[in-house]
Structure formats: C-alpha cells, structure tokens
A and B are shown apart, each in its own frame.
Chain A
Amino acid sequence: MRTTGLATPADQHRVSSRLRNLALIIGLALYTMYAAGPFAWVALMSLRTTTEIAADPYALPWPMHWDKFLSAWVDSNYDVYFLNSVTIVLSAVAILTVVGGMAAHCFARYTFRFKGLLYFLIFSTIIFPPQVTVIGLFQILVEYGLFNNRLGLVLVYVSIQMPITIYILEAFFARIPNDLFDAARMDGYSEWEIFWKISFPVALPAISTTIILNTILLWNEFLYAVVLISDDDKRTLPLGVLRFMGDQLEDVGMLATGLMIAIVPVVLIYIFFSERLIQGMTAGAVK
C-alpha cells in the first residue's frame, strides 16, 4: 500500500521527531561551542608565540612553547603577583573560616538578645552594592595606614565574604542534633571545646564548602583590590594581569599565557572539589 516514503502518519511522526532531535543536537553543540570555545582558544594560544598567532589565530599549537609559562613567570613579575594572591587569599580564608565559624556557631547554638537583629544586619549586606562601602573603606584604610597594604586588603576580604560564610555555616550548624552538645556539656567540655572539638569537626563538609567558595571568589576579586592597592609589588593576580595587558597590548601570545596562569589554579580546584564548590555556589540561590 505504501506509495511514497513519507506518506504514512507513523513515518511522518518518526521523521519529525528525528528532525527535532537533530535541531536539539545542533543547538546544544552551538551552545557548547559558545561556552567552552573561548577557554579552549586561550589555552591553545597560551602555547603559541605571537608571531604564530598573527599568522593564523586558530591553528593548533605546534610546536608547543611551554617555555612561555616560564618567561611570563620570571620576566613579567608574575611570581610576585601570584605569591601576593596566594598569601592574601589564604590568610583571608583562614581568618574567615575561624571567625565566621565562631559567629555561625553562636547564631546556631545560643539564644540571646538582639540575635535576630544582628543576624539580619550581617546578612542584609549580601545585597549591598559595593560602591556604598568602597569609598568609605578607602578613607578609613587611608586614615589607619592600611591603604596600599596587604593586611588591609585581607581584612576587607574577610569583611566582604563574612555574610555568606556565616549564612552557609549557620544552616549546617543548626542541623547538628542538640543531644551531642548536651552530652559534651555533661562530660565537662567548656563552650570553646564544644565549638572546636564538636561543631567544627562535625561541620567539616560545610566548612570545606565555604573554604573552596571563598578561595575562588577572592582569587578572582578585582574591585576592592584595584581601589585599595597601588604599588606594583603588592598587586594581586587580577591586577597584575590587567597591568600586563596595558604594557603588552600587542603581545597576544604572552598575554594568553598570563591568562592561563590565572585560570589554572581555579580550574584545578574545580576538578578536585567540583561537588563542594557547586554546593557553595548554589547555597545562596536555593534557600
């Protein structure tokens, strides 16, 4: 009975669903190109010299110039920027974890006067636009001699990440059963020991989430760094990269290498701790 290929309704249905699948696959492929293409491109360019890139910006890196990483590191002050970023970010994250953990433990464990108000005050700063603090911060840090000072930047970083840290940790601490604390109290633990020996170890998953989240956000931070740091040897990596761009606008190959140095640590953290990181980043979005 069959006359032409597409006559029966069943055939038409199959063809249209195939077409739909094809459209879906093309759409996803295009989006993947848009999402991952730029990163792949800069990764390829980071291994090629500017002359090679000028000849053909989209060729494969052959031969691979791994030595470019060394020369970016040594000749362009990247070692200084990298070290600054590492010290500033790690100190800020360490202080944040302890101070934020203590406050979160306090909010989760005890009842006291003005608790709701204090929590609201701290938490509401999450939605503050940074402009409203940055000018005042600049003046205050200048007055206290902490402007253009790595310690000043560390303290500012602690203050900007404090609300989200307390928010994530408080939610976790509040879920630890109270019996655990009562038992510890019976055993004669002091309040500090309860925090340090019980809350902290039990909440380690949440704590590592905040550590990873804060590390990545502060590693990439730019606004406060650009306002509060002016000496070249105190610059963090994002500032260094920008300065490098100002100096070597035409040296695309070298710049790409510089960008890769800034990206790689974050990507490594993502590869090893992706679940924790995603938990941290989504904590604010899913109430």
Chain B
Amino acid sequence: MSAVDMPDKKAQGTKLRAKALKVRDHANPASAIATFLLPALLIYAALTALPVFRTFYNSTHLVVPNRAAEWVGFTHYIDLWTDRIFWKAVGNTLTWAAAAPLLEVSIATILALALYAKVPFARFLRVAWFTPVLMSYVVVGILWMWIYNFEWGALNTFLRFVGLGDLAQAWLAQPDTALPSLIAVTTWMWTGFNMVVILAAMSSLPSEVLEAAELDNCGWFAKLWFVILPLIRPTLLNLIVLSFIGKMKIFDLVWVTTQGNPLWATETVSTYVYKRAFQWNTFDLGYPSAIAVIWFVIVMIGVLSLTFLFKQSDKVEY
C-alpha cells in the first residue's frame, strides 16, 4: 500500500516546494523574518539556552578549574540524596513558597476591598502600600536588619512601647524566628503589588452584576463571597502562581540579611547553590549544577501542578 502511495506523496511534495519557490510569500518575507528574529535568537541561544545545557552537562561531571571536566555519572545526584543541608534548604524554600503566596494574596484582597469601598485617602494609601516593591532586595535587607535589631530595632521598640517587652528578641538570630521574620519581609514587599493587581481586576468588573446583587438585597459579605471573589478568581490564582515562582527563586534577601544562618534556618536552595558554586572552596561546579537541575525540575513540577490544579477546580465549579 505504501509503495503505491509513495510516489504520489513525493510528487505532491515537490509540487508544493516548486510552488513555494515560484510564488514568494509577500506577506511573510523570509529575509525580513530572519532579520527581525536573529538578534533575539542569538542572545537567547548564547546566554539562556547554552548556559542551561552547560548546567545540565556539569551536573554529571566533576568541574574543577584548569582541568577538563571529568565524567562522574550520577554521583552528584546520589550525594545530594544524603546532603542534609540541601534538604533543609528545600524545606525552607518550600515553606516560604507555600506561606508567602497565601499571606500576600489574602492580605492584598482585604486591602484592595478597602480601596474598592472608597475609604478616605485611598490615593495616598495606594502609593504607601505599593512603594516597598520598588526597592532593591539589598536595600530592603539592610533596612529590615535594623528593624529586627535587638536593642534599637523598630519592632522591639514598638513591642516595648505597647508593653509587650517580653516578646522582644533578636529576630534574625534565632533559628525558630529567623525564617518567619524573613517571610514577613517578602510579604511586606509584595502585598502592595498584589493589591494593585486585584484592585485593577475589581475595578473592571461589570457593574450590572454588582447592581443586580444589590437589587437582590445582597449583604456586603455575601456580595464579596458570591459575586466579587468568584469573578476575580483567575487573577487571584495567577498572583498565587507568580508569587510561588518568585519565592522558589529567592536569593537576594537571604544573602543580604542572614546568609542562611542561624544553623541553616534560612538557607534557601538559591543561597546553597551560590555557596557551593562560588563561596565554599570546593572548586567544583558540578555538584551545585546538580542541585540547580533538581531544583529546576521541582519548580517546573510545582508550576505545572498548580496550573493543573487550578484548571481542575475551575471545571468542578463551573
């Protein structure tokens, strides 16, 4: 059968090709497409794709300066399995990536509602809440180290002022308060940003629906729960995914404030990769590359399953 079909298909193929050669596609000139795309593709290939392949290659090699990379198979991955600092870092990062999106998005929703309900000074409040996200993590880190300072930091001063002086402590120096303190910093930074996005989504809601709800004598809370939140749900879910991705990458803030201390209580995967690659004098880029590869896979799985989960629950409800 195929023997009969083949020449036919081949003839068709050559005919198409001849047609393509004869009739130049004026709407899609190949030379213009190539010129427009080439610079971006070159940069992408050289500085994104190649480094990623390089990291994957590294992860199965011993990469020491001034020597050819030596194939070690999956030894790095096996070592990783028993590396307790790595698992501690994974735990910390996942805690961060799970807690921060919920905190940010829920507080941001409340704040956005307040602005949506037109509290006084809304313009000023919007600016004041949004500003933290504009600052560099380096600036933010130094600033919050002062705020968490035991003797004269703003947090302890406030606690002593309201009579809760017993609670005053060295927030970043104790294993059990260090990570929550840093999570509070990212929440401080990103809640305003989330609020602005949610407010934009609320403002673009169709007014007919809200008026209909009011005609039905819907209370404030019912209106929020049954009308507003379901309608802005896609925005909220997007923000959760976005915040999740951001926290899985977190490096700068930890590096500036605690560098993973005390006792690895704030070590994240990013800081651990950096330490193993550029700070500890192990001079091997293979092992941190293996961590990066594993983390890459975990982030991908996380993002895909979150997206899948949200899609599924959409199907159930509508």
Contact surface of A with B, Cβ cutoff 8 Å:
24-25, 28, 31-32, 34-39, 41-42, 57-58, 99-100, 102-103, 105-106, 110-112, 118, 121-122, 125, 127-140, 155-156, 158-160, 162, 166, 185, 191-192, 195, 216, 219-223, 226-227, 237-239, 241-242, 245, 252, 255, 259, 262-263, 266-267, 270, 274, 278, 281-282, 284-287
Other-chain contact of A103, B27, B37, B270 (Cβ < 8 Å): B37
**Closest-CB distance, B102 to chain A (whole angstroms):** 16
Size of interface on B: residues with Cβ below 8 Å to A: 90
Contact mask for chain B residues 90-111; partner A; CB cutoff 8 A; 1 contact, 0 none = 0000000000000000010001
Kindly list chain A residues whose C-beta atoms are within 8 Å of the C-beta of B62.
none
Kindly list chain B residues whose C-beta atoms are within 8 Å of the C-beta of A242.
138, 256
B196 touches A259 (CB 8 A): no
For the complex, is B32 an interface residue (Cβ under 8 Å from A)? yes
**Closest-CB distance, A191 to chain B (whole angstroms):** 4
A58 touches B157 (CB 8 A): yes
Nearest residue in A to B43 (C-beta to C-beta)? A159
Bound-state Cα–Cα, A223 to B201, Å: 32
Bound-state Cα–Cα, A41 to B132, Å: 13
A39 touches B132 (CB 8 A): yes
Kindly list chain A residues whose C-beta atoms are within 8 Å of the C-beta of B26.
185
Known A-B contacts A136-B50, A222-B137, A270-B131; the reply to A129 vs B296 at CB < 8 A is yes
**Closest-CB distance, A167 to chain B (whole angstroms):** 12
For the complex, is B207 an interface residue (Cβ under 8 Å from A)? no
Additional pairs, 13, CB under 8 Å, beyond known A38-B154, A133-B55: A28-B125, A31-B107, A35-B128, A38-B143, A112-B28, A125-B44, A130-B251, A131-B291, A134-B277, A139-B58, A155-B43, A220-B134, A238-B139
Kindly list chain B residues whose C-beta atoms are within 8 Å of the C-beta of A130.
249, 251, 270
Nearest residue in A to B115 (C-beta to C-beta)? A28
Bound-state Cα–Cα, A42 to B200, Å: 30
**Closest-CB distance, A149 to chain B (whole angstroms):** 13
Contact mask for chain B residues 221-254; partner A; CB cutoff 8 A; 1 contact, 0 none = 0000000000000110011001001001101100
**Beta-carbon contacts under 8 Å, B22-47 to A:** 26-30, 32-33, 35-37, 39-41, 43-44, 46-47
B249 touches A129 (CB 8 A): yes
B55 touches A103 (CB 8 A): no
Nearest residue in A to B198 (C-beta to C-beta)? A285
For the complex, is B51 an interface residue (Cβ under 8 Å from A)? yes
Nearest residue in B to A165 (C-beta to C-beta)? B40
Kindly list chain B residues whose C-beta atoms are within 8 Å of the C-beta of A245.
142, 256
B28 touches A35 (CB 8 A): no
B52 touches A133 (CB 8 A): yes
Contact surface of B with A, Cβ cutoff 8 Å:
26-30, 32-33, 35-37, 39-41, 43-44, 46-55, 58, 63, 107, 111, 114, 119, 125, 127-139, 142-144, 146-147, 152, 154, 157, 188, 191-193, 196-197, 200-201, 234-235, 238-239, 242, 245, 248-249, 251-252, 255-256, 269-270, 273-274, 277-278, 285, 288-289, 291-293, 295-296, 299-300, 303
Bound-state Cα–Cα, A32 to B126, Å: 10
A241 touches B138 (CB 8 A): yes
B47 touches A159 (CB 8 A): yes
A-B contact pairs, 13 of them (CB 8 A): A36-B128, A41-B147, A58-B154, A102-B35, A112-B33, A118-B37, A128-B296, A132-B295, A137-B47, A220-B137, A220-B138, A242-B256, A286-B235
